[in-house]
Structure 1
């Protein structure tokens, strides 16, 4: 480690009182190895950039190596020395670097060490800037999350590249697993709790962004809670971000469904001794499920990502539900767009990246525009997704909830079930499905929407299921 009063490679001045992680001998070893055996340069460039060199002179020399490489020229000792001389660096200094190492065998390991030192330096500067940001304004948390992502992911790393043969082997193993699940009549992915939906979608998969959209009062939250309970019942830990409703209200809705208690009586506190017995039994069952509720209002996607990463490290995040998109906060720096459609696009993109990074399904609830209510045919369309066409682009699957009874429509087309009564029934429209088919799936629900089942089953007051046929 060095204490020095000099210019950093990024041009900032460093005072002698500062103590920053750096190693001049390690920098010389990397440069010397590349001058002796320049065939390693491509690999090293996949690990570090010029900013990994704390010494500004060393950073310039590495930049010369890269520029020569980009031009297709051989970055040998003579050529680099001449280029360095033109930039005011003594050729003798360049030649002296080759004395720091005998060969290029360890150059990749040395480059990774430089990348680590650079990250640590950036964290030190980040901490100082964070202190200033925290005193200056309320958006320090979102800024910090973005900066940490940039710092920890800044080093380019070819280690993430994988031979297609290895990827194909995993693909075939996954196909075999899905075949076995199909032959045994099991859901391939995380069950939705609706067998017809499982058959069409295969259940939820890691990395998927699922948009669950509807107009207000159609049952978005009710269906989301049903999906959460179904997934958790099979052992998948679920994290629910409720931006509109407090945790107690969400838990109460789940408890009403699990116990079969009358929703109106539950809200009014008008429960009997028999109701209490069912409620306590339902609470005991729900309490064992791996579901975590977070009702922080005005939370942004960077904060949601930070929470999910922390919870996944604890084994608590196997699926994420966000209720709902239009209530997700936008960090101040992103409000510069001055365009709500662009802001929503940023949120949906962040949700997709979250699903991919954590390898879990993210179910993002969304409001549909009023265009639905202005048409004679109230069936939702992809064009009804409110405020952003990017939502459709980012989503792996788009589901619409449609309850014709809300619009006074007495009957509707239920696909293979024909024309059915709208009372106690609704329709899920799979409008987009990257890995399967689209179409209508009818479902049944009780009056309070606390129980949702396949159309073949009928929710009863006691939370049991009777077959319809």
Structure 2
């Protein structure tokens, strides 16, 4: 290959150049190969970006090659020459004739992919160096409020970005690969009685309608205050974690289980409050009695026994308040790596904050970032993410209080990003607020209606990418905040 005149680092001091991993010769050789045979662009462009080149001029040449080939134009020294006649860095190495020098040897054609891989790997190493330097600089700077845990979270986020970039090559699947995965899902559903291919919710009719909670799905569970969103979420978390324990005990490996280890991000309630709810559900002792100690010795023994039995439950609660979506994703990745979680629950979406520091108060845009981030997390970790969400007060203004998609607060992006939207609705909650006096003429009719709907909740499936919408009735025991399957004579779930 002809001698390359370019000096590495575009005038950077030699000492700093030596500190950063790079290979200028490999960059030049790859560019020469691309200019000689534009078909090689298809092999490297999915993985390699212009900013992966250490020498900025090489990055600009590579970018120009991509632009021309994208327009079905030939990219060679002749067609690139007009684009670089005014480039100052190009002038320093003799002008556009440098482009011809790059193609001085055809030997690089054989090893073009190897050159691209090395350039890419060296770029990752430079990213690691940059993260390390930022960590050191931040740790040494005590001029502002020192928050080591925040610095650690930022460092984890940046390191994971580097790791994500390490998987940057496109993952194209053949139809055979995709159909094989579809076959495995169908087999799992068949082995689970024909109704469950994903993670169980613990509710028979809900599982039957959706096939369980599917990996990579973002599920929005919404409702007005008092409907039992958190209770349903804790029920689902417990059911999935318990099913995993049962399957493991039966010799079924975790990857084939209909259960999952669960990460529960509680931004509203503390970990002990959530644990109290779950223990109340399983021991049949109301949470108020547990918190006040209003139990006899036998009830306490039952409570302690249940607590002991659930010690091994693979349910992990993070009750850190005020999390950003970036911090939540970092913590979820860590739990995936350490505990192999298969389900994430977030209570609730509106308590998360975005990563923008502009402070412009655009909450709709921030919610868009959060919902998009949760969907990306579901795909990235290949787990279902259930995010609880508030509803607007518009529900209260209607005669029929059943929620609609338009009731989601800052709803546009949430509805768009979600694979499923569930609403929880309890008619007895609203009817109780209308109770007339005992001597009122309408009291008997009210009492009859209350006896008909008391303890019955509706799970409204308002959006589902995998099937029909509709509603499923569940039983709700407000005393211990537990949902369960409703056994009602002649009842069949409603679906469109």
Report the Cα offset of residue 174 of structure 1.
Answer: 2.7
Report the Cα offset of residue 17 of structure 1.
Answer: 4.0
Match of 1:456 in 2: 487
Equivalent position to 1:248, from 267, 272, 283: 272
Match of 1:221 in 2: 230
CA distance in 1 between counterparts of 2:67 and 2:370 reads 37
More deviation, 83-92/272-281:
83-92
Q: 1:122 to 1:186 in 2, by over 3 A?
A: same
Say if 2:195 and 2:207, in contact at 8 Å, map to a contact too.
no
Equivalent position to 2:295, from 271, 277, 281: 271
Equivalent position to 2:341, from 317, 322, 329: 317
Report the Cα offset of residue 66 of structure 1.
Answer: 3.3
Cα displacement string for residues 294-323 of structure 1 (whole angstroms, at most 9, x for unaligned residues): 100001111111111111112331000001
Say if 2:431 and 2:450, in contact at 8 Å, map to a contact too.
no
Q: 1:60 to 1:156 in 2, by over 3 A?
A: farther
Match of 1:238 in 2: 262
Say if 1:50 and 1:63, in contact at 8 Å, map to a contact too.
yes
Q: 1:70 to 1:372 in 2, by over 3 A?
A: closer
Note if 1:378 corresponds to 2:378.
no
CA distance in 2 between counterparts of 1:344 and 1:79 reads 46
Q: 1:325 to 1:57 in 2, by over 3 A?
A: closer
Report the Cα offset of residue 373 of structure 1.
Answer: 1.7
Q: 1:410 to 1:54 in 2, by over 3 A?
A: closer
Q: 1:338 to 1:44 in 2, by over 3 A?
A: same
Note if 1:365 corresponds to 2:374.
no
Note if 1:122 corresponds to 2:127.
yes
Match of 1:347 in 2: 370
CA distance in 2 between counterparts of 1:284 and 1:106 reads 61
Match of 2:461 in 1: 430
Structure 2 length as normaliser, TM-score?
0.80
Report the Cα offset of residue 62 of structure 1.
Answer: 3.0
CA distance in 1 between counterparts of 2:222 and 2:278 reads 20
More deviation, 444-453/316-325:
444-453
Cα displacement string for residues 150-174 of structure 1 (whole angstroms, at most 9, x for unaligned residues): 5444579554122334323332343
Cα displacement string for residues 362-395 of structure 1 (whole angstroms, at most 9, x for unaligned residues): 0101111111122221111111111222111111
Cα displacement string for residues 100-148 of structure 1 (whole angstroms, at most 9, x for unaligned residues): 6724232112201101111221332343345556755777567656655
Which aligned pairs between 1:70-469 and structure 2 lie closer than 5 A?
Answer: 70-76=70-76, 87-88=90-91, 89-90=93-94, 93-98=98-103, 102-129=107-134, 135=141, 147-148=158-159, 151-154=162-165, 157-178=168-189, 180-181=190-191, 184-185=193-194, 187-235=196-244, 236-333=260-357, 335-408=358-431, 421-456=452-487
Q: 1:81 to 1:328 in 2, by over 3 A?
A: closer
Q: Structure 1, unaligned stretches of length 5 or more?
A: 412-417, 458-469
Say if 2:280 and 2:480, in contact at 8 Å, map to a contact too.
no
CA distance in 2 between counterparts of 1:82 and 1:387 reads 49
Say if 1:290 and 1:316, in contact at 8 Å, map to a contact too.
no
Q: 1:56 to 1:191 in 2, by over 3 A?
A: closer
CA distance in 2 between counterparts of 1:162 and 1:119 reads 25
Say if 1:410 and 1:423, in contact at 8 Å, map to a contact too.
no
Say if 1:6 and 1:15, in contact at 8 Å, map to a contact too.
no
Report the Cα offset of residue 16 of structure 1.
Answer: 2.2
Report the Cα offset of residue 332 of structure 1.
Answer: 4.3
CA distance in 1 between counterparts of 2:283 and 2:403 reads 32
Cα displacement string for residues 200-235 of structure 1 (whole angstroms, at most 9, x for unaligned residues): 111111011111111112211111110001101111
Match of 1:41 in 2: 41
CA distance in 2 between counterparts of 1:125 and 1:262 reads 54
Report the Cα offset of residue 275 of structure 1.
Answer: 1.1
Give 3-state SS (helix, strand or coil) of 2:339's partner.
Answer: coil
Match of 1:58 in 2: 58
Report the Cα offset of residue 22 of structure 1.
Answer: 0.5
Cα displacement string for residues 337-368 of structure 1 (whole angstroms, at most 9, x for unaligned residues): 52212211211111111111111010101111
CA distance in 1 between counterparts of 2:410 and 2:85 reads 57
Report the Cα offset of residue 396 of structure 1.
Answer: 1.1
Say if 2:405 and 2:411, in contact at 8 Å, map to a contact too.
no
Cα displacement string for residues 390-421 of structure 1 (whole angstroms, at most 9, x for unaligned residues): 1111111111111122222599xxxxxx9972
Say if 1:222 and 1:450, in contact at 8 Å, map to a contact too.
yes
Cα displacement string for residues 255-305 of structure 1 (whole angstroms, at most 9, x for unaligned residues): 111112233221111222211221122112221211101100001111111
More deviation, 54-63/39-48:
54-63
Report the Cα offset of residue 15 of structure 1.
Answer: 6.1
Give 3-state SS (helix, strand or coil) of 1:389's partner.
Answer: helix
